[in-house]
């Protein structure tokens, strides 16, 4: 029996075209999100239009409350969707063009010469609409590898492609945010045209991607828990709670790092091309390590290594970040952390969901993704609210160009940008290393049993579908 299960594990295969289109769609929705929540929206309203930072902070905190409401509800509805296309694909296909339109309209002034209140209203409405659609699309794309495959071997091939495409999802916002002040100073119309192009391209790729991958059919027949029980059951999964410590921290860190880019490069005069090249090298080195020697170590030890390396690099930048060599070291470690965040964390999340199936017998990816967002998305609002306030503590003067800030203000930019992220990474390394349970031979045995169970359920589903077609 064991040999049969191992053969099934080895045979699980996802076509390259499916992996490529899924990676492309994920890249596009991530690009839009990184621009909106990674500092672009805050910089646009606060630094370009002159909106008071207090209004911006209030907007992000209200937005955080909205996030707490819509994500678990969507996860629950997604798990219970009974479409012929599947449980996730309809949301990707039909939401793609709507989110493209919202993204494009975000960068158009709705009220002409806007007051703080009017800018607050536009910013808040755009965030609410964008996140509603982003939740539906990104959650569906995020859980798709778990719908398509059960083994970490097959999932890792999907995630590898997502990481490669993730380079574009990171690179476009990185270069855009680094040059945002210059682009807006030169021409608002050119900036808006660029945003329109990005929005249309993203919507088209997400739409057409849905014709190239599919979900396993048997999960549509499962009878899901009621809403409250479904949420409570997630919180009873100890491995999920431990995972959330890492997930919340990484969400905060990714947002915070994107948010401070335009400030850091302009204020410190560091060569951003050298830093981005170092990040690319870090991503490549990280992916080699996670997929080769790291595969033998397992997900848990790799997560600990990632957090320690990433945190150490950020610490170097806080102290010496005014020098290019320190920036290169920091961005090299950030590349290692980025590759780990894109590759290791989804594998870890998949294991957590698989463990829930081991206990409940149900596939509940949508609810887990929704509760994960419920816990983690406030980190986006917190990061966006904290940074513009923290830099004021160090004497940052919004009326001055970034390069003309005082030396203490420039130190404050680095501290406000990186300190909390470094602390969170070191705490995660200690916490995951001490408490995360899904590791070792016993867990490998459980995964093999789940793979065999999926094969049998899918075989029965396909047989029943053929019999039904024959009757018709």
Q: What CATH number is attached to the domain comprising 457?
A: 1.20.1250.20
pLDDT greater than 90 at residue 203: yes
- Mean residue pLDDT of the chain comes to 84
Q: Give tens-digit pLDDT for 372-430.
A: 878 887 787 788 788 888 888 888 887 888 888 888 888 888 898 899 999 999 999 99
Are the C-beta atoms of residues 432 and 300 closer than 8 Å to each other?
yes
| Mean pLDDT, residues 174-201 | 84
pLDDT greater than 80 at residue 94: yes
Cα-flanking dihedrals φ and ψ of residue 82, to 5°? -125, 55
Reference 213, options 351, 83, 21, 418; nearest CA is: 21
- pLDDT on residue 9: 46
| Mean pLDDT, residues 147-163 | 78
pLDDT: which is higher, 255 or 94: 94
- pLDDT on residue 350: 85
* C-alpha–C-alpha distance, residues 377 and 236, integer Å: 21
Retrieve residue 38's tokens. Answer: 């990674």
**What residues pair up with 83 in beta bridges, in sequence order?**
86
Q: Label residue 137 by pLDDT band (50, 70, 90).
A: very high
Q: Which of 66-80, 217-231, 350-364, 453-467 has the lowest mean pLDDT?
A: 453-467
Chain-centre distance for alpha carbon 297: 24
- Helix-helix angle 407-435:238-259, to 10 degrees: 160
Q: Which residues contact 374 (CB under 8 A, 6 or more apart)?
A: 67, 68, 71, 72
Q: Label residue 339 by pLDDT band (50, 70, 90).
A: confident
Long-range contacts of 395-398 (CB under 8 A, 24+ apart): 398/46, 398/47, 398/53
Across 7-25, b (16+ Cβ under 10 Å) vs e yields ebbeebebeeebbbbbbbb
| Largest Cα–Cα separation, the chain | 79
* C-alpha–C-alpha distance, residues 385 and 59, integer Å: 8
Q: Which of 295-309, 323-337, 417-431, 457-471 has the lowest mean pLDDT?
A: 457-471
pLDDT: which is higher, 24 or 48: 24
pLDDT greater than 70 at residue 461: no
pLDDT greater than 90 at residue 209: yes
pLDDT: which is higher, 224 or 260: 260
| Mean pLDDT, residues 276-288 | 91
Q: Which residues contact 94 (CB under 8 A, 6 or more apart)?
A: none
* C-alpha–C-alpha distance, residues 296 and 414, integer Å: 37
Query: Half-sphere exposure of residue 121, counting CA atoms within 13 Å on the CB side?
Result: 8
- pLDDT on residue 156: 80
pLDDT: which is higher, 164 or 245: 245
Chain-centre distance for alpha carbon 416: 22
Q: Please, where are the H alpha helices in 394-440?
A: 407-435
Retrieve residue 423's tokens. Answer: 């602390």
pTM flag (> 0.85): no
The count of domains in the chain is 1
Task: Count Cβ atoms below 10 Å from residue 227 Cβ, excluding itself.
Answer: 15
pLDDT greater than 60 at residue 353: yes
| Mean pLDDT, residues 70-86 | 79
Q: Can you give the residue range of the structural domain that contains 310?
A: 2-471
| DSSP letter assigned to residue 44 | I
pLDDT greater than 90 at residue 224: no
Q: Which of 65-69, 103-107, 300-304, 446-450 has the lowest mean pLDDT?
A: 65-69
Retrieve residue 352's tokens. Answer: 């957590």
* pLDDT-above-90 percentage for the chain: 28
Are the C-beta atoms of residues 139 and 75 closer than 8 Å to each other?
yes
Q: Label residue 69 by pLDDT band (50, 70, 90).
A: confident
Retrieve residue 170's tokens. Answer: 């990171």
- pLDDT on residue 219: 60
* C-alpha–C-alpha distance, residues 78 and 81, integer Å: 5
pLDDT: which is higher, 444 or 11: 444
- pLDDT on residue 2: 46
pLDDT greater than 50 at residue 99: yes
Retrieve residue 145's tokens. Answer: 């590898």
């Amino acid at each position: 029996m064991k040999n049969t299960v191992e053969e099934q594990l080895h045979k699980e295969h996802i076509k390259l075209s499916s992996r490529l289109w899924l990676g492309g769609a994920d890249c596009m929705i991530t690009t839009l999100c990184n621009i909106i929540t990674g500092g672009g929206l805050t910089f646009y309203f606060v630094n370009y239009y002159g909106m008071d930072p207090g209004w911006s902070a209030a907007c992000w905190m209200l937005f955080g409350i909205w996030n707490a409401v819509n994500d678990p509800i969507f996860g629950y509805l997604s798990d219970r969707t009974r479409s012929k296309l599947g449980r996730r694909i309809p949301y990707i296909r039909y939401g793609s063009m709507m989110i493209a339109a919202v993204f494009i309209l975000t960068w158009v002034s709705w009220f002409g010469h806007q007051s703080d209140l009017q800018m607050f209203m536009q910013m808040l409405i755009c965030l609410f609409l964008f996140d509603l659609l982003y939740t539906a699309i990104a959650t569906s794309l995020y859980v798709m590898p778990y719908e398509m495959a059960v083994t970490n071997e097959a999932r890792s091939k999907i995630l590898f492609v997502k990481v490669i495409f993730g380079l574009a999802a990171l690179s476009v916002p990185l270069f855009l945010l680094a040059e945002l002040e210059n682009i807006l100073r030169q021409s608002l119309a050119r900036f808006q045209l660029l945003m329109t192009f990005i929005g249309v391209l993203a919507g088209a790729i997400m739409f057409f991607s849905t014709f190239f991958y599919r979900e396993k059919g048997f999960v549509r027949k499962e009878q899901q828990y009621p809403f409250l029980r479904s949420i409570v059951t997630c919180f009873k999964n100890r491995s999920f709670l431990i995972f959330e410590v890492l997930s919340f921290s990484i969400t905060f860190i990714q947002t915070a790092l994107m948010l401070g880019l335009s400030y850091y490069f302009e204020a410190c005069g560091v060569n951003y091309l050298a830093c981005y090249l170092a990040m690319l090298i870090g991503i490549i080195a990280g992916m080699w390590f996670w997929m080769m020697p790291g595969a033998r170590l397992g997900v848990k030890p790799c997560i600990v290594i990632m957090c320690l390396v990433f945190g150490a690099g950020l610490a170097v930048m806080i102290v010496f970040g005014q020098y290019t060599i320190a920036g290169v070291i920091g961005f090299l470690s950030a590349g290692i952390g980025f590759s780990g965040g894109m590759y290791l964390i989804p594998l870890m999340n998949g294991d957590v969901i698989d463990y829930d199936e081991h206990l409940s017998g149900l596939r509940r990816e949508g609810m887990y993704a929704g509760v994960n967002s419920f816990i983690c998305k406030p980190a986006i609002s917190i990061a966006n609210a904290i940074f513009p306030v923290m830099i004021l503590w160090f004497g940052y003067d919004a009326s001055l160009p970034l390069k003309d800030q005082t030396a203490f203000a420039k130190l404050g930019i680095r501290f406000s940008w990186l300190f909390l992220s470094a602390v969170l990474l070191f705490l995660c390394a200690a916490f995951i290393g001490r408490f995360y349970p899904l590791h070792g031979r016993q867990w490998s045995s459980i995964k093999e049993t789940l793979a065999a169970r999926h094969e049998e359920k899918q075989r029965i589903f396909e047989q029943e579908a053929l019999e039904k077609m024959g009757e018709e």
